[in-house]
Amino acid sequence: MDLGLGGRGYLLTGASRGLGFAAARALVDDGARVLVSSRTPDSVARAAGELGGPPHAFGTTADLADPAAAGRLVTEGREQLGRLDGALVSVGGPAPGTVLDSSEEDWRAAVDSVLLGTLRLVRALVPVLGEGAAIGLVLSTSVREPIPHLAISNGLRPGLAMTAKSLATELGPRGIRVFGLLPGRIATDRILDIDGRSADPDAARRAAEAAIPLARYGRPEEFGRVAAFCLSPAASYLTGVMLPVDGGMLQGLW
Ligand SMILES: NC(=O)c1ccc[n+]([C@@H]2O[C@H](COP(=O)([O-])OP(=O)(O)OC[C@H]3O[C@@H](n4cnc5c(N)ncnc54)[C@H](OP(=O)(O)O)[C@@H]3O)[C@@H](O)[C@H]2O)c1
């Protein structure tokens, strides 16, 4: 299937590694051009290089917690790519912890980057997007079911999901689509780090895999291909959805 991505331009945040990078890889493999960003200059440069560099992939440094980042990313995206057909917004996940032991400082940091960082980028982006564009938010299965020891994610993601749903309704008449992706356990640094915090990381992984019908963690490229499809013109009638990419882990249908 031709996804229709050839020549299109996409902005990806949190994309020097992990899920954002995997999505960038899938987009570039199907002919799109990307601007990838994260907070660390070396990581961004390496990621853009691994994606083939200009004219296929450009990199820029941006911390989504910085209020100035959104406008700058959109300006650079238009300059480097010549056009912007959408974005995949991924941000480093909130600090782990329970409701009672998560500090107010950790909540505030997550609100600044995960919540406000995403909102600011979307608001900067929408005015420059045209019909056929798409915005994807990388969220979590915590949109639908709380994850133990990820209280801040459990608190913020459902609100972002409903915000994305509202935005899909607002932007639908302009032909701009909005969707959320709900990764379960995809084997990125983030997930390996969370497992690594337990007393027995291998046992933690085996226990997590036992709760996944496909009986394994997902591979980043499996997530990346879903993201690229959802962003592409091939998904032109898909909007306002929260799509689990979780090997069947979520048990409820809705
Ligand atoms: N992997 C999974 O299975 C899974 C499951 C549920 C939810 N998620 C969520 O999906 C998102 C991405 O996860 P991941 O597994 O790809 O994580 P990851 O492997 O840790 O990668 C995170 C990426 O985001 C960048 N980043 C971190 N903080 C940032 C900030 N404030 N502004 C801009 N970029 C930032 C990192 O680069 P720098 O350090 O250079 O900034 C890196 O490129 C996270 O929010 C995570 O909670 C992932």
**pLDDT tens digit string along 139-154?**
999 999 999 999 999 9
pLDDT for 110 beyond 90 = yes
pLDDT(193) > 90? no
Residue nearest to atom 14 of ligand 1 (CA): 18
pLDDT in tens, 160-183: 999 999 999 999 999 999 999 999
The answer to whether residue 196 scores a pLDDT higher than 90 is: no
Sheet holding 9-12, edge to edge: 57-61, 33-38, 9-12, 86-89, 134-138, 177-183, 241-245
Tokens of 108: 């505030």
Report pLDDT digits (tens) over 26-66.
999 999 999 999 999 999 999 999 999 999 999 999 999 99
Atom number in ligand 1 closest to CA 147: 6
pLDDT of res. 178: 99
Asked if pLDDT for residue 103 goes beyond 90, the answer is yes
pTM, entire model = 0.98
**Ligand 1 touching residue 220 (CB < 6 A):** no
- The domains found in the chain, sorted by start residue, are 9-245 (3.40.50.720)
Q: CB of 183 closer than 6 A to ligand 1? A: yes
Distances (CA, A) of 14 to 59, 126, 130, 138: 11, 19, 24, 10
Q: Is the CB of 191 under 6 A from ligand 1?
A: yes
For 127, the token pair is: 């005015």
Q: Is the CB of 140 under 6 A from ligand 1?
A: yes
Give the distance (Å) from ligand 1 centre to CA of residue 92.
3
Q: Judge residue 213's burial from the number of C-beta atoms within 10 Å of its C-beta, 0-12 exposed, 13-18 middle, 19 or more buried.
A: exposed
User: Residue 45: CB partners within 8 Å, gap ≥ 6?
Assistant: 59
From the alpha carbon of 65, which atom of ligand 1 is closest?
31
Q: Is 154 in the pocket of ligand 1 (CB under 6 A)?
A: no
Tokens of 175: 């032909």
Residue 254 binned pLDDT confidence (cut-offs 50, 70, 90): confident
